[in-house]
Amino acid sequence: MEQTATEPATDEALSAEDLAQIARQRAATYAFIARLYRVEVDQDLLDSLAATRYPARTGNDDVDHGYYLIARFMSNTWADTLTDLAVDYVRAFIGHGNNAYSAAYPYESVYTSEKRLMMQDARDEVLAIYRSCHLDKAASWKENEDHIAVELEFMQIMCERAAVALEAGDEDAAMTAFKTQRNFLDDHLYAWAGMMTADLKKFARTGLYQGLAYLTDGFLKTDNEFLADLLDEA
């Protein structure tokens, strides 16, 4: 089945219905990016990536370049692509040195603590935010709560909550969700992801993970701008 990756949202005058649809599209993009960070690509995801159409003119150069790199990678797969991607995932996110600068460590604490350690203040803060929104780490997730996949999934859930609220006519609840997202981007996700993606561009060798770095940069920037415009107008 052909799928289409979603484009970043724009700030034109919007009805509640339009806003709900945009919120669902944003949720889909957050889910897509989160999945690529969470664990290695498996066969189901690889098949899905091969069947996806990637937007070519979103208005953000980083998003466009990221989607292009992913599409080009998917145009050059071979019998052992899953192994290539698994190797690159380890190379990019785990590294092979005992040095805190050997990979693009996907944890906020590493990039926001003085000594690049895990389980620092950032993890405690995002955990508190999740719990304030009645969310907690799933039992199956063994990594820390400030892993980029979890932070992206938090944004995904807030998008879905906003969409549900808008569809139910509850604009206040939707605005609360949007404000939570904006604060979370400003204080956490958008504040550190750029440093991680800079390392990802340095360490990753496959087009998929290179493209993921550009896509993350462009999408978070665009989404941050969208929320700022939306909430400033409101």
**Tokens at residue 167, please?**
């569809």
Q: Which residues pair with 169 in a beta bridge?
A: none
Query: Contact region for other proteins (CB under 8 A) — 13-21, 45-53, 187-195, 219-227?
Result: 45-53
Can you give the length of the chain in residues?
A: 234
Q: How far apart are the first and last CA of the chain?
A: 39
Q: Is 1 in the site for other proteins (CB under 8 A)?
A: no
Nearer to other proteins, 25 or 228 (CB): 25
**Cα–Cα dist 110/223, whole Å:** 24
Among left, alpha and beta (phi > 0; psi -120 to 50; other), residue 42 is: beta
Judged by CB under 8 A, which of 38, 176, 179, 225 binds other proteins? 38
Query: Nearest-CA neighbor of 197 among 108, 114, 137, 119?
Result: 108
Residue list 105-134, contact with other proteins (CB under 8 A): 115-117, 124-125, 127-128, 130-131, 134
Please report how close the Cβ of residue 234 comes to other proteins at its closest, in angstroms. 26
Nearer to other proteins, 64 or 223 (CB): 64
How far from the centroid of its chain's Cα atoms is residue 13's Cα?
26
Query: Nearest-CA neighbor of 9 among 160, 227, 234, 169?
Result: 227
Q: Is 75 in the site for other proteins (CB under 8 A)?
A: yes
Judged by CB under 8 A, which of 98, 172, 232, 233 binds other proteins? 98
Q: Is 50 in the site for other proteins (CB under 8 A)?
A: yes
Judged by CB under 8 A, which of 25, 48, 77, 176 binds other proteins? 77
Site string for other proteins, 184-223 (x = CB under 8 A): ----------------------------------------
